[in-house]
Amino acid sequence: MKPIIGYYGFWVYLTYLSLLSAVVGIFFAFEGDIRSALICLMISGICDTVDGRVASLKQRTDREKNYGIQIDAFADIISFGALPVAIGYAIGQSFGSFGVISIAIFCIYVLAALIRLAYFNVIEIELEGKNEKRVYYEGLPVTIVALIIPVVFSICNMFDIPIALTYNILIFVLACAFVVKVKIPKPKGRFKVILCLIGVPILIYILVTGVV
């Protein structure tokens, strides 16, 4: 019996976990459970942040490296593309503000995320072929929405700011940031730790108080 296709190891299991968390989050969003959907988004963000570091600890073949690049992008379009849109849908259903404008903004967002991820993959494969390391990103990495969206939700909840309009504006701004050709320094290990530490109180706040 032939083995299942693909490449396997702890580094790729984290990517799979990120994807599965996002799928569960989409179901929560469709059920109107925005808080649980946000938690799933943050879990996906943590997995995506850690998987690259874990992968660097393993000696991988060129095929394994290219597989990791591809599978990471495929998972990201669900985790940080589709899930935020599902959360936006849940907000619109909860507050009665889901209309044509929201649909257009969400379509732009997913398209921008897809373009960003595909472009990233092309450059990443070229760098791998030259045995070079990435020192900066072009455009905002999609993974950062796993922190930005929960932070904005928490702020809106704390200060009683209308979330529906704010979310649409946020999603549109993020979409633009994905594709704008601006160089952003690649976060180092310490900066990633700082981002995770920022996310801890946000996660606790969402768990304890909710966001809507």
Let me know: does 164 contact 108? Beta carbons within 8 Å: no
Structure confidence by residue, pLDDT tens digits, 96-109: 677 889 999 999 99
Percent of the chain topping pLDDT 70:
93
Let me know: does 98 contact 167? Beta carbons within 8 Å: no
Tokens standing for 203?
A: 């996660």
Residue reference for tokens 């909710």: 210
pLDDT of amino acid 211: 61
Let me know: does 195 contact 187? Beta carbons within 8 Å: yes
Taking residues 138-163, report their average pLDDT: 93
- The yes-or-no verdict on residue 23 having pLDDT over 90 is yes
pLDDT of amino acid 8: 85
Taking residues 116-136, report their average pLDDT: 85
Ramachandran bin of 188, using left for φ above 0, alpha for ψ from -120 to 50, beta for the remaining angles? beta
pLDDT band at 189 (very low <50, low <70, confident <90, very high): low
Domains observed in the chain: 10-209 (1.20.120)
CA 32/CA 128 separation, integer angstroms: 42
Provide CB contacts within 8 A for 210, sequence distance 6+: 35, 157
pLDDT of amino acid 10: 81
pLDDT band at 156 (very low <50, low <70, confident <90, very high): very high
Which segment of 34-38, 42-46, 75-79, 183-187 scores lowest on mean pLDDT?
Answer: 183-187
pLDDT of amino acid 6: 85
HEC string of 156-202 equals HHHCCCCHHHHHHHHHHHHHHHHHCCCEEECCCHHHHHHHHHHHHHH
Provide CB contacts within 8 A for 121, sequence distance 6+: 69, 70, 73
Q: pLDDT averaged over the chain?
A: 89
Q: What residue type is 144 in one-letter code?
A: I
Let me know: does 8 contact 64? Beta carbons within 8 Å: no
CA 106/CA 171 separation, integer angstroms: 7
